[in-house]
Amino acid sequence: MAALASAKRHGTSRNRSARVGSCFWLIGVVMVAALTQVVEPNTLGLARDDVDAAALIGRVTRVMSKIDGADPAGAYFAFLSAFGSASQATTLSAMDLRCIEASLREPLPWEATLSPLTRQDFPVLIMLGGWPGKDALVRSTGRAFRAVGERLSQRLGGELVTFENSFHNPQLAGAPFNRRLEEFLRAAGNRHPRAAGGHEPHH
């Protein structure tokens, strides 16, 4: 539903890094440095008090309670239906099925334990996919993720940008996404030269 990017200045040059990532459940981090890591804590629980987020949690809960782990394809399409998606691929690859089986062993999207999120002293950009359409369920899902994006923006002190028509894959917007991300990274580098690999002036 969104991508979150942050650029953080560290005290030593060997720890210089920028962060950027995307995740189905709104937040992910990829460390762009010598070592690359992917972390995907979900944040749907941040908006439990939002009407649409609460409704989405209820729909997913009901679907997951009926899912048969022996039928990963059926589980996948049932899960999508909770978001208002009626599309069904004709076939799922063996890798798709293994990924689905692994996902079914994960905690539900609002059960992740997150450290308290507080305003940061480094730039944060939250990129959200828009959920347009005539279907009321799809629009409700979009409002739910919008609520989560707004909570992240408020707590982290970040900027929230929406890419319409991209649903949970804003990175697939292509040039507009890349351009906005490049602008963010460039501005962060100008703010913290050492974090961008430059050198601070000597005194």
The residue extents of the domains of the chain are: 2-47+112-196, 51-104
Three-class secondary structure of residue 133 per DSSP = coil
Query: So what's the pLDDT on residue 87?
Result: 65
- pTM recorded for the entire structure: 0.71
At 25-47, the pLDDT tens digits run 343 333 333 223 333 446 788 88
Report helix, strand and coil shares of the chain as percent, to nearest 5: 45, 15, 40
Query: Regarding beta strands 2-8 and 124-129, do their DSSP bridges make them parallel or antiparallel, or are they unpaired?
Result: antiparallel
pLDDT over 70, % of the chain: 68
Distance separating alpha carbons of residues 15 and 44, to the nearest angstrom:
30
pLDDT by residue (tens digit) across 90-147?
A: 688 999 899 889 888 888 878 766 667 777 777 888 888 888 888 999 999 999 999 9
